[in-house]
């Protein structure tokens, strides 16, 4: 008997516009409605909005925190993981997720996208970074247009892996 709960990461900046927060909240709701657990960095902005959405649908929320205190977690985090390793914890956010949905984007989000692509974890983008090298666009980030499509793609990528 192995744990069959699906864990989906939501990554994005800690300071966001109301429109981006609304997207993140809807992504959180959709993840919870489909029975997956939500993993994030546990702080504000995209992380808090996504946890709020998931919580309100009765979903499970995990926040992997950079600092030394569980009380730094946003109020919708049910499982606070206290790493004490600073923003290096971004790697654990990504590796604890079977797919990540990147919303908008700070430089921290960029590190998470890089760690996910390096580890072969699918990255679904919703208004996030686009990458190119030598003028050639990198096509590994799966671009989507709305929360439902983003969560759909995350699930279909995870199923294909198994």
**Which residues lie near a copy of itself (CB under 8 A)?**
1-3, 5, 7, 37, 60, 62, 64, 68, 70-71, 73, 75, 77-88, 91-92, 95-96, 98, 104-115, 117-119, 127-135
Report the Cα–Cα distance between both ends of the chain, in Å, rounded.
16
CB of 69 to a copy of itself, least distance (A): 9
Q: Are 31 and 58 in contact (CB under 8 A)?
A: no
**Residue 46 CB: number of other CB atoms within 10 A?**
32
CB of 8 to a copy of itself, least distance (A): 13
Q: Are 50 and 25 in contact (CB under 8 A)?
A: yes
Cβ proximity to a copy of itself: between 27 and 121 the closer is 121
Cβ proximity to a copy of itself: between 33 and 79 the closer is 79
Cβ proximity to a copy of itself: between 33 and 110 the closer is 110
Cβ proximity to a copy of itself: between 60 and 152 the closer is 60
Q: How far is CA 41 from CA 13, 107, 117, in A?
A: 10, 14, 18
- Provide the pairing of β-strand 99-103 with 79-82: unpaired
């Amino acid at each position: 008997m192995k744990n069959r709960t699906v864990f989906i990461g939501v990554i994005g900046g800690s300071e966001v516009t109301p429109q981006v927060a609304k997207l993140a909240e809807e992504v959180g709701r959709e993840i919870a409605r489909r029975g997956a657990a939500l993993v994030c960095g546990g702080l504000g902005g995209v992380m808090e909005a996504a946890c709020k959405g998931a919580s309100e649908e009765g979903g499970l929320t995990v926040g992997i925190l950079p600092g030394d205190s569980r009380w730094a977690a946003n109020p919708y985090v049910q499982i606070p993981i206290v790493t004490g390793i600073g923003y290096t914890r971004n790697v654990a956010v990504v590796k604890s997720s079977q797919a990540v949905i990147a919303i908008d984007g700070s430089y921290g989000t960029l590190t998470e996208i890089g760690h996910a692509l390096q580890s072969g974890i699918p990255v679904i983008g919703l208004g996030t970074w686009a990458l190119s090298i030598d003028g050639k666009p990198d096509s590994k980030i799966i671009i989507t247009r709305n929360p439902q499509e983003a969560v759909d793609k995350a699930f279909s990528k995870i199923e294909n892996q198994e």
